[in-house]
Structure 1
Amino acid sequence: MTSKLNRRSLLTRSAAAGLLSVPAVGALAGCASGGGGGESVERGETSDDNPLGVDPEAELEVVIFDGGFGDQYALDAEAIYQESYGPVRHDKTTEIQTRLQPRMVQGDPPDVINNGGADAMDIAALIRNGQVYDLNELLDAPSLDDPSVTVRDTLMPSTVEMGQFGTEEVWRLNYAFTVYGQWYSRTALERLEVEYPRTWDEMIAVCEAAKRQGMAGWTYPGVYPYYFNFTLYPFIGKIGGVEVLQAIDNLEPNAWRHDAVRAAFEAYHELAARGYVLQGSPGMTHEESQDEWNSYHALFIPNGSWVENESRRNTPADFDMAVGPPTGLDSSDALPFEALWASSGEPFFVPADARNPIGGLEFLRVMLGRESARNFTEQVSSLSCVRGAADGMDLPPGLASAKATFEAAGEHLFVPRLPDWYKQLNNEEIGGAVAAMMAGDLDPAEAIDRCQRAADATASDDSIQKFQHV
């Protein structure tokens, strides 16, 4: 039998016996170990059926973010895992950081964490502290359905890239494949007898038609203003090219003062100045803004493809949900109308100090199998990061639209990294500046200055790890 006694369990047992005192959480923060130092389950024998060498008797602990996707898809994957391996201890929560950060600091984390939602942990900080397990071993393993194909080769574009932070290591797996854009109701556009706007002049005309009928052109969750970035970032990239977004990601001096940024900010400011934004949006949560949108009170909402499942309860049967690429500026745009932000999202990672990290890798391998990937799509109306897994499925209208919109984009895909490289900068500083502009408190030039100052402050802060596009 393999020994399951390690440094952490020795400390725990000694503390329980009163042989040593346990330091406060704050004292442990500076000495959190990484690189698997907290493992308490040794690797077992490898075989064709068990290529990673999972201990077949060891317990696995999985914690799922209980958000728009719920947790049934994970429970179903856990059932598949348990057919070959030990029991799974499952938990779900919306308070990922609140509940799990102390366990990460103490070196006693779960084996797999779905690090999602507004209370997600800062993955860049965890990586910097050596608290995340490198997933390359998983990606180079044979896939569940075809041993001649590696897991890596089954994944959608950008999935591996989204797990990297300027190095060859892959620190997380983003399981959902998300299409970001302007979500709308086909029914609402048909009632107004308008087409989806491809240029900003057309956007103004559509919003004016909605206004005449007592309907707002846009709503958004002002409580979480970074939602606007889901359309603003690709709008900037469409106007000026992907290089503009990469300069922003790289925290380059004056990146926010590019002409493409100015044009995009001025266009969005026009929505607010003309009264096309639903009153009260600055104070709404994501659910409240979605409810207003579902009630035909606004035409467009910046969102990701999780919205169909998240708002399903309040979506009218005749809504006919769809998503389009961000409306372009005009014929001078650097990239075609079809260009959009589409990338893997809904992050999972295995903590370096997990008791059963190999089991965690195997659980993710199960999730990346065709059966689990198709079940995920059926359960939550979202594409997974598994290439072709949704082919031939009868998809709901929003997801069918997202799939078609993604395929129409071809190679013209944006993958902004600011949101995950610099979470606070993206969510609070940039999101806050855009929110203030949309609420009428800043003009575009002031909002841009605020964004640039925040980016410069991040760039000059030596305590923040920096990343670069390679």
Structure 2
Amino acid sequence: MDAATEYSRRDVLGRAATMGLLAAPAAALLSACAIGGAGGDSSAGGARREPATKDNPLGVDRSAPLEVVVFDGGFGDTYARNAEARYRRANPGAAVKHSATQAIQPQLQPRFVAGDPPDLIDNSGAAQMDMATLVAQGQLLDLTPLLDAPSLDDPSRKVRDTLLAGTVEKGQFGGARTYALNYAFTVFGVYHSQKLLDDNGWTYPRTWDEMLKICAQAKKKGLAGWTYAGRHPNYLTFTFYPFVAKIGGPEAIRAMDDLEPGAFRQDAVKAAVEAYYELAAKGYVLKGTPGLDHIQSQTAWTQGQAVFIPDGSWVENEARATTPADFRMAVAPNPALDPASDRMPFETIWAEAGEPFVVPAKARNTAGAMELLRTMLTRESVQDFSRLVSSLSCVRGATDAVDLAPGLKSGSAMLNAAGPNVVVPMLPVWYSTLNKEQIGGTLGELMAGRIKPDECLSRFQSCADRTARDSSIEHPKHSA
């Protein structure tokens, strides 16, 4: 990646923040599944700490054992194991216990209740623990000491100054404290095989009418236009939310985030719903898609059964085993509905920091956990991450010299082209159940052809209104 691309990405998120699109989350939806009692002073951390020095700014006990649990999803865990090896070289007396799982909450919730959590957790995936609940109960450590520590690459700079704009804010919940370090930088969009498009003489569609034409041509060739993770239909929101913003402007997304009355019946949402319904009504969705999980839908797509799939930049690594060598994975924004009336341009996308790493307040070796994160934020570690998993990281300029895989290179170019037109919906952070189960689930029903647009909009609004009336949860708002 060249320097111009990296500068653009910094500038994109900086300007997005000033536009109010990249708001710092306050307390989000509190899960009904409680973790346990409060964790005490979440800024103090656990035991096993030495006096801070210039060479050891976090006060790491270099002989203390460290336990790490990583989500074993699209990124795998090799990148984390490699960083742990670097940590052990710097702390030769420390044993590191590593485990990987997709069942983060089922496995770790009992340990939080017992007051015996691991030291560092990659809290990601469908079974992740609810961040707002953990924060509200004092279960997570404030990572400000890590952010203010000197970078291992350049001790004259603080860690926070090496991160892409928006990374620190994405881990904040109500105020200035940061409780999560979102390690990856994800771009969402409509993924496709450039080879498949070229072989059929198709150019990626810039308007929805052009999208429908390609889908019609694909259908005649025995191909589906779209597939998606039918069993996890919130994947549809990866392109649906920026489509709403494209049609109605950033204020359309802010209204949804803030659960404003009627926000899910506004014209931009209605137009986006009707456009997506056309895919189902005209038979352009791969048969059987509602029963497919994310892996199965991605496999159908890489095997050429469908032309397009809404996804995030982790897909290149997650689908690596089934992707043909000449596939030439690429990603593009959702097509414009009507360039003449849309409030934002074709290039508008959703992109943000993700893959949250957290340090439990009651962990035995909080200093070691933060030091491992500091190690993970070195250029060596993040370049290793990008090579292994085809994802950008949260560190600015770290992949400038890295030969990126096709999908990641395409995603970087898409982000560069977006300029200031990057939206970051906060609904998935503030109201995870509403986003995943209700908005995502309703979109899945629409795309399966089981409901029509009017019913879809009614369900959207009903679920949003019910969430807005729920006095048991916090209701954060975008700043004016």
TM-score, structure 1 length as denominator? 0.92
Q: Deviations over 1:26-83 (max 9, x none)?
A: 9995534243499552431222221111122211111001111111110111111112
- Pairing partner for 1:59 from 65, 72, 75: 65
Offset, 1:439: 1.1
For the pair 1:364 / 2:370, whether they are aligned, the reply is: no
Structural mapping, 1:90-169, within 5 Å? 90-169=98-177
Instruction: Give the Cα–Cα distance (whole angstroms) in 2 for the partners of residues 374 and 231 of structure 1.
Output: 28
- Pairing partner for 1:187 from 166, 181, 195: 195
1:227 is matched with 235
2:403 is matched with 394
1:17 is matched with none
**Which fold has the larger relative contact order, with Cα–Cα distance below 8 Å and residues 6 or more apart in sequence?**
2
Q: Deviations over 1:362-420 (max 9, x none)?
A: 11111111110001011111111111111121111111111111111122111111112
Offset, 1:287: 0.6
For the pair 1:341 / 2:350, whether they are aligned, the reply is: yes
Instruction: Give the Cα–Cα distance (whole angstroms) in 2 for the partners of residues 432 and 29 of structure 1.
Output: 26
2:364 is matched with 355
For the pair 1:403 / 2:409, whether they are aligned, the reply is: no
CA contact (8 A) 1:138 1:362 kept: yes
Stretches of 4+ moved more than 6 A in 1?
A: none
Whichever residue aligns with residue 350 of structure 1, its letter is V
Instruction: Give the Cα–Cα distance (whole angstroms) in 2 for the partners of residues 368 and 285 of structure 1.
Output: 32
Offset, 1:151: 1.1
Aligned CA distance change for structure 1 residues 27 and 270 (closer, same or farther; 3 Å): closer
Offset, 1:466: 2.4
What secondary structure, in the 3-state scheme, does the structure 2 residue paired with 1:31 have?
A: coil
For the pair 1:254 / 2:254, whether they are aligned, the reply is: no
Instruction: Give the Cα–Cα distance (whole angstroms) in 1 for the partners of residues 417 and 291 of structure 2.
Output: 35
CA contact (8 A) 1:192 1:209 kept: no
CA contact (8 A) 1:340 1:414 kept: yes
- Pairing partner for 1:282 from 276, 279, 290: 290
Question: Which ranges in structure 1 are unaligned for 5 or more consecutive residues?
Answer: 1-25
- Pairing partner for 2:471 from 442, 455, 462: 462
Instruction: Give the Cα–Cα distance (whole angstroms) in 2 for the partners of residues 283 and 300 of structure 1.
Output: 17
CA contact (8 A) 1:38 1:107 kept: no
Whichever residue aligns with residue 462 of structure 1, its letter is S
What secondary structure, in the 3-state scheme, does the structure 1 residue paired with 2:90 have?
A: coil
CA contact (8 A) 2:42 2:138 kept: no
Aligned CA distance change for structure 1 residues 227 and 135 (closer, same or farther; 3 Å): same
What secondary structure, in the 3-state scheme, does the structure 1 residue paired with 2:85 have?
A: helix
Offset, 1:465: 2.3
Aligned CA distance change for structure 1 residues 416 and 28 (closer, same or farther; 3 Å): closer
CA contact (8 A) 1:328 1:337 kept: yes
Instruction: Give the Cα–Cα distance (whole angstroms) in 2 for the partners of residues 357 and 66 of structure 1.
Output: 22
2:448 is matched with 439
1:11 is matched with none
- Pairing partner for 2:83 from 60, 77, 84: 77
2:393 is matched with 384
Instruction: Give the Cα–Cα distance (whole angstroms) in 2 for the partners of residues 274 and 28 of structure 1.
Output: 44
Instruction: Give the Cα–Cα distance (whole angstroms) in 2 for the partners of residues 320 and 112 of structure 1.
Output: 36
Instruction: Give the Cα–Cα distance (whole angstroms) in 2 for the partners of residues 39 and 263 of structure 1.
Output: 49
For the pair 1:43 / 2:49, whether they are aligned, the reply is: yes
Instruction: Give the Cα–Cα distance (whole angstroms) in 1 for the partners of residues 298 and 71 of structure 2.
Output: 20
Instruction: Give the Cα–Cα distance (whole angstroms) in 1 for the partners of residues 465 and 234 of structure 2.
Output: 19
Question: Which ranges in structure 2 are unaligned for 5 or more consecutive residues?
Answer: 1-31
What secondary structure, in the 3-state scheme, does the structure 2 residue paired with 1:180 have?
A: strand
Offset, 1:343: 0.7
TM-score, structure 2 length as denominator? 0.90
Instruction: Give the Cα–Cα distance (whole angstroms) in 1 for the partners of residues 360 and 237 of structure 2.
Output: 29
Instruction: Give the Cα–Cα distance (whole angstroms) in 2 for the partners of residues 38 and 406 of structure 1.
Output: 38
Instruction: Give the Cα–Cα distance (whole angstroms) in 2 for the partners of residues 432 and 28 of structure 1.
Output: 24
What secondary structure, in the 3-state scheme, does the structure 2 residue paired with 1:179 have?
A: strand
CA contact (8 A) 1:376 1:384 kept: yes
Instruction: Give the Cα–Cα distance (whole angstroms) in 1 for the partners of residues 365 and 478 of structure 2.
Output: 33
CA contact (8 A) 1:32 1:107 kept: no
Q: Which has the larger radius of gyration?
A: 1
Offset, 1:165: 2.5
1:211 is matched with 219
The root-mean-square deviation of aligned C-alpha atoms, in Å, is 1.7
Whichever residue aligns with residue 73 of structure 1, its letter is Y
